[in-house]
Amino acid sequence: MASKPMTKAQLVAALAEEMDTDKKGAASALDGIISIITREVSGGGAVTLPGVGKIYCRERPERMVRNPATGEQIKKEADKVVKMTIAKALKDSVND
């Protein structure tokens, strides 16, 4: 069974240790990366994280969906969704 996902505090602590810096600097670096990714993807671009994957925004067309409670067909407007493609290196490291 999988363990719980790493929290932001745990990620900041691990990043600080990896960078050999304090937690404040690591938190600032993480927040900066998140801000850049958010700005780029929300603007319609894509961000590639080497060894991790590519984060991008994709447009979904208008479509018919079903309300699971009533079974009624409803028209859903076109929208955008954030997607991520995982890098082959990460997939291979997981399957080794």
Domain that holds residue 37: 1-43
One domain, residues 26 and 54: no
One domain, residues 52 and 95: yes
One domain, residues 61 and 23: no
For the beta carbon of residue 32, count every other beta carbon within 10 angstroms: 10
Structure confidence at residue 2 (pLDDT): 62
pLDDT tens-place string over residues 25-80: 999 999 999 999 999 999 999 999 999 999 999 999 999 999 999 999 999 999 99
> How far apart (Å, rounded) are the C-alpha atoms in residues 57 and 81?
6
One domain, residues 38 and 52: no
Radius of gyration of the chain (CA): 19
pTM: 0.78
Of residues 96 and 34, more confidence is placed in 34
At 8, is the pLDDT very low, low, confident or very high (cuts 50, 70, 90)? very high
Secondary structure (3-state) at 94: helix
